Amino acid sequence: GFSWKLADHPKLPKGKTVAVVVLDGWGEAKPDQYNCIHVAETPTMDSLKKGDPDKWRLVKAHGSAVGLPTEDDMGNSEVGHNALGAGRIFAQGAKLVDLALESGKIYDGEGFKYISECFEKGTLHLIGLLSDGGVHSRLDQLLLLLKGSSEHGAKRIRVHILTDGRDVLDGSSVGFVETLENYLAELRGKGVDAQIASGGGRMYVTMDRYENDWEVVKRGWDAQVLGEAPFKFRNAVEAVKQLRQAPKASDQYLPPFVIADESGKPVGPIVDGDAVVTINFRADRMVMVAKAFEYKDFDKFDRVRVPKIRYAGMLQYDGELKLPSHYLVSPPEIDRTSGEYLVHNGIRTFACSETVKFGHVTFFWNGNRSGYFNEELEEYVEIPSDSGITFNVQPKMKALEIGEKVRDAILSGKFDQVRVNIPNGDMVGHTGDIEATVVACKAADEAVKMILDAIEQVGGIYVVTADHGNAEDMVKRNKTGQPLLDKGGKIQILTSHTCQPVPIAIGGPGLAPGCRFRRDIPTGGLANVAATVMNLHGFEAPSDYEPSLVEVVDI
């Protein structure tokens, strides 16, 4: 029968403190002026790379290596941390939604049946990120869902859009809204009353995460549910074009707006009897809005009016909280994660990041589950992030504070594993501010140094890696790698992640002599890291985990 007990590793000892450091958005790319990691002073990461070639390598962090539909899909933190923590590759939300839409099974599921009971009298509201980024949602999936819903009886549909510019180029929102508008016009031609009802930039409206700033979710609620926003337009393309005119405006941070009819009345507030679907498949930035729709006793902001609706997520976003209780597509069943195994084998674990990435080393790491496996053995520490700012104005973020907390946890001797996410390369990389991203990378490197120094002191082991690329490439490039220019001759800034591989390094005084990276797993990816870490704790990994990257040779 099944057992949580892990076998002893034949050669690697137990009892070493293992630091697992994840640099968010830290890929490996050719050195040039748009590679902020290359430009920044990063002596610690440089020394790992230049050190023992058997203790530094690259691993895949995008596409099928992390369960995404195609090799053109860049990596992201959800799938990256899922793979790091679970040690296996699961078909991820993007893929599962594709399959459900393709086969039509989505319309036979419990979630769709549940919402479709509102179609006779009520409106179907679709809320979500409007882009082809493939990180949180995809426009083609939205269009298919619109088509399928109307074919399955939805007569009145309202779409509440969130503009992107973070997983895709800034400014691309206009084209996505046009595509959606054209499709909605087609539906209207077929007699479906379908329109965009509200909108706003994803980082300012609705898509906050890890309870960093409830105001973001409130702005969305006000526009989507109450039909109230500081800006009113007759048409969404107009809205986005005009709001982008403001100085420093960007797709990510557009203010909320509602679409109103000729008399000034909002066209699509959410009212009793309506159905609501949040169309994002990715969990982190949907959990808060799901709580606002689903929880009776909700006190994070005044919802003013709480319509009696039927609400479903594209996926279930939190497996532990069962949130939301209705969903259109079943999420990947990420079970038996390494964190759960390790606590069952007595490993005392400390996990830490600042708010904006806190759930990455807890929630995502543990297979999209909130909470502890074992409160006695685990401690998760969240350093509060600055909220209400874009991180290019504070590129050091809380790297130093994270480094200190992790150092103290290592030196305390109370933990066998400390696991940390250092957010700077990613969070600042997403702003598209190259100078600030250089500062960010330096700060991240300094935090790594603090952690490695502490590991040195206690005779421990370190594993330093990343979840996906971002800061190593800040421009859009053509096929030969040359930066692309826009119509005005300016380089096109890349705010998104990349398809680059990421580094992984092992070392520290506790690393057994002869322990090194195997040379026979050239295609290794993030999912190989969990078994690696289990080995470094002195255990064999479960047999269905992706193979460990390390071996022990006689020296």
Task: Identify whether the C-beta of residue 440 lies closer than 8 Å to the C-beta of residue 42.
Answer: no
Closest CA to 351 of 3, 18, 122, 13: 18
Which residue lies nearer to ligand 3PG by CB, 115 or 428?
Answer: 428
- Cβ-closest position to Co ion: 426
Nearest residue (beta carbon) to ligand 3PG: 77
Binding map of Co ion across residues 424-443, x = CB under 5 A, - = no contact? --x-----------------
- Tell whether residue 473 is a contact of Co ion (CB under 5 A): no
Task: Specify the residue, 23 or 177, whose C-beta has the smaller distance to Co ion.
Answer: 23
Decide which of ligand 3PG, Co ion, none touches 551; Cβ closer than 5 to 8 Å per partner kind.
Answer: none
* Of 309 and 352, CB closest to ligand 3PG: 352
Residue 228, classed as helix, strand or coil, is coil
Q: How far is the CB of 173 from ligand 3PG (least distance, A)?
A: 14
> In angstroms, what CA-CA distances link 379 with 235, 361, 414?
49, 12, 10
Q: Which residues bind ligand 3PG (CB under 6 A)?
A: 24-25, 76-78, 135-136, 166-167, 285, 426, 430
Q: Is 383 helix (H, G, I), strand (E, B) or coil?
A: strand
Contact 62, 71 (CB under 8 A): yes
For 234-244, give one letter per residue: b (16+ CB within 10 A) or e: eebbebbeebb
Distance in Å, CB of 499 to ligand 3PG, minimum: 14
Of 133 and 319, CB closest to Co ion: 133
Residue recorded with tokens 């709480």: 306
Could you tell me which of 82, 96, 538 has the C-alpha nearest to residue 337?
82
207 residue type, one letter: M
Count the Cβ atoms, other than its own, within 10 Å of residue 398.
Answer: 25
Amino acid residing at 159 = V
Note whether 167 binds Co ion by CB under 5 A: no
Binding at 269: pick from Co ion, ligand 3PG, none (beta carbon under 5-8 Å per type): none
The position carrying tokens 């002191």 is: 457
- Nearer to ligand 3PG by Cβ, of 17 and 76: the residue is 76
- Half-sphere exposure at residue 26, Cβ-oriented, CA atoms within 13 angstroms: 30
In the list ligand 3PG, Co ion, none, the entry touching 285 (Cβ below 5 to 8 angstroms by class) is ligand 3PG
Q: Is 109 exposed, middle or buried (0-12, 13-18, 19+ CB in 10 A)?
A: middle
Binding to Co ion in span 397-426, by CB under 5 A: 426
Alpha helix ranges (H) inside 338-412:
338-344, 355-358, 399-411
Binding site partner of 135, from Co ion, ligand 3PG, none, Cβ cut-off 5-8 A by kind: ligand 3PG
Minimum CB separation of residue 209 from ligand 3PG in Å reads 7
DSSP assignment of 43-74 equals: HHHHHHHHS-TTSEEEEB-SGGGGT-SSTTSP
Q: Pick the closer one to ligand 3PG by CB: 116 or 437.
A: 437
Active-site residue identified among 3, 47, 77, 103: 77
Q: At its nearest, how many Å lie between ligand 3PG and the CB of residue 65? A: 15
Cis-peptide into 547, omega within 30 deg: no
387 is catalytic: no
Closest to ligand 3PG by CB, 25 vs 128, is 25
Question: In the bound complex, what is the minimum distance in angstroms from residue 60's beta carbon to Co ion?
Answer: 17
Q: How near is the Cβ of 25 to Co ion at its closest, in Å?
A: 5
- From the CB of 430, what's the least distance to Co ion, in Å? 5
Does the protein bind Co ion through residue 274 (CB under 5 A)? no
Q: What does the alpha-carbon distance between residue 211 and residue 106 come to, in Å, rounded to a whole number?
A: 30
Query: Which residues are catalytically annotated?
Result: 77
The contact set with Co ion (CB under 5 A) reads 426
